[in-house]
Structure formats: structure tokens, C-alpha cells
Amino acid sequence: MQYNPEFMTLAYEEALKGYNEGGIPIGSVLVHKGKVIGAGHNKRVQKGSVILHGEMDALENAGRQPASVYRECELYTTLSPCPMCSGTILLYGIPKVIVAENQTFMGAEELLRSNQVEVIVVNDERCHELMQKFIAEKPTLWNEDIGV
Amino acid sequence: MQYNPEFMTLAYEEALKGYNEGGIPIGSVLVHKGKVIGAGHNKRVQKGSVILHGEMDALENAGRQPASVYRECELYTTLSPCPMCSGTILLYGIPKVIVAENQTFMGAEELLRSNQVEVIVVNDERCHELMQKFIAEKPTLWNEDIGV
């Protein structure tokens, strides 16, 4: 199997949690050998954080891992990873990223691919709709999150 | 003036603080129009964090800023910024990065330059010596920080 839809559902549920907290609805899970070792969602609003994007929060919640673990991980995320999150994926050598959608925002997928990271975009309608709803409600907050 | 050596001294003092806490001695300051708006150092050991590199900690401590502020900032760092920190610099559109040294570790300077970020390497001997001392003492911890 190229990817496991159940893990994308977990990432979506993280995004939804973020939305219900009044935050930016992007979620992520870090999976090691079929087991979630870190789950998280964007915490810009909740923690006043400029670095806790969904992917970063998932990695942070996974705690300190040896390089050998990251190299066997897959990262599921509800939105195409921005340059910060993509750089982090490269730093830790995570080989595979499953992206719900990149219509709302096209991240640094080319940078990932040019560094031999496998990027799979699955066009998840739930994640896309949630982001569209959020952006319509809070466009300024969204722009802040992507440095615009 | 291309850069202000006093800000590199502040970044070095952050690195030294990290060393004295038993952590990884890399420090950074974010400067907006000649004023430090965020200072920080690597918190891998102190907070069990995998994302709080020196640069990330400085940005986090600066708090939520509008894009217009980041675009007028300079980031001082005691070590060449890794792919994560470089991606964050790109996300927020920070136009100028002053690096103490890149002999210990060559970060993603090419990625920054190819995205029109000005990168100045000043070959600061204090920062280099501190890192060499640290790596001799704790090589495994250092490798963990750069995903090796």
C-alpha cells in the first residue's frame, strides 16, 4: 500500500481539533513502521507560536528520536508542507510525505522531491473544505501563518 | 555597515548560555531596524525539543509578527543555518542572515542564496571554538541535532 488512509483521517482529526480551538486547521501525524509516534496541529493561535505548524507540532510531540527512526518514518499532513516544514523533513531525513491537498497552498514539494523525498498528494476533499472554510472566515490569520 | 558585530556578540552570549545549561551552544538574535526583537538558543536538551534550534528559538521568542516586520529583519546566528532554520527564513521572507561560521557545519546557505537571501559569513573564532569544544565533549548529542 502506497499510504494508509486511516493515518490521513487522524491528521484530519488533528486539523479539526485545531479549528474547534479557534486555530489554523492543519494537522499532521508522524508514523514509524505503521505506528503513530507523534500527532499535532498548528498552534499559532493556541500557543502564540510562529514555528508550531501542524507538521512541526507532530515532530515535537514525537520527542527526541534517533536519526535511524526518522529515516523509517512517514509524515502525513493535511496541507502541502511550507518551506519551514519541508526543511525540517530534510533535516531529519524523513523519506516519505503524504499530503492531503496542495490546492489551498503549494508548499515546497519540489524542494522535497529534488532531495529524494517521496511526496504523495491524495486530494482529500475533507481537508480542502476545512481549509477553505477557515480561510473564508479568517483570511488575515491565514496570511500570517504563511508569511504573507 | 554590512552587519553589526555587537549583535553577533549577543548571539554568542546566547550560545554560551546554552553551553552552560548543558545544551547545544548555538545562539541567535532577530534584529528589526537595529533593535533585537527576539533572542534564543538551542533547547534540545533543556526542553527536549527537536525544533528549537537557536534560530527557531529566537523567532519564537520574537512572537507573532506581521510579514512586513520579518521583511525588514536580519537574523544573526552562531552557526550556518540547517535546512529547517533556512526553510523558516524563507517562509517568513527574512532578507539577510549573518552567520558566525560554517566550518563546523555547512547549512543550507545555497538554498538561501538561490532564493535571494543575503548570507554573510563572518568567521567568528569564538563561536567556532565553542562548537569545537562542545562536539569534542558530546559528539552523539551533536549528531542528533543535525539528524545524523
Say which amino acid occupies A128. H
Q: Which of A50, A87, A108 is opposite residue B59, by nearest beta carbon?
A: A50
Quick one: pLDDT at residue B9? 98
Quick one: pLDDT at residue B85? 98
pLDDT in tens, A21-51: 999 999 999 999 999 999 999 999 999 999 9
Quick one: pLDDT at residue A26? 98
| Neighboring chain B residues of A86 at a CB cutoff of 8 Å | 87
- What CATH number does domain B5-146 carry, 3.40.140.10, 1.10.3470.10, 3.40.50.2000, 3.40.190.80? 3.40.140.10
Rg (CA), chain A: 14
Quick one: pLDDT at residue A1? 67
Quick one: pLDDT at residue B33? 97
Which residue, B146, B127, B92, is CA-closest to B14?
Answer: B127
Query: Could you tell me the pLDDT band of residue A9, with boundaries at 50, 70 and 90?
Result: very high
For B1-148, strand residue ranges (E) read 27-32, 35-41, 73-77, 96-99, 118-121
Which residue, B87, B23, B77, is CA-closest to B49?
Answer: B23
Does the annotation mark A110 as catalytic?
A: no
Q: How many CB atoms lie within 10 A of CB B102?
A: 16
Quick one: pLDDT at residue B1? 67
Residue A24, C-beta contacts closer than 8 angstroms, at least 6 positions apart: A18, A42, A44, A45, A134, A141, A142, A145
Q: Which residues of B are catalytic?
A: 55
Domain boundaries defined on chain A: 5-146
Locate the chain A residue with the closest alpha carbon to B70.
A147
Query: Could you tell me the pLDDT band of residue A137, with boundaries at 50, 70 and 90?
Result: very high
Inter-residue contact A16 to A78 (CB < 8 Å): no
pLDDT in tens, A78-104: 999 999 999 999 999 999 999 999 999
Say which amino acid occupies B76. Y
Per-chain mean pLDDT for chain A: 98
CA distance A57 to chain B (A): 9
Interchain contact, B50 vs A67, CB within 8 Å: no
| Neighboring chain B residues of A82 at a CB cutoff of 8 Å | 87, 91
- The per-residue pLDDT string of chain B (148 residues; one tens digit each, 9 = 90 and over) reads 699 999 999 999 999 999 999 999 999 999 999 999 999 999 999 999 999 999 999 999 999 999 999 999 999 999 999 999 999 999 999 999 999 999 999 999 999 999 999 999 999 999 999 999 999 999 999 999 999 9
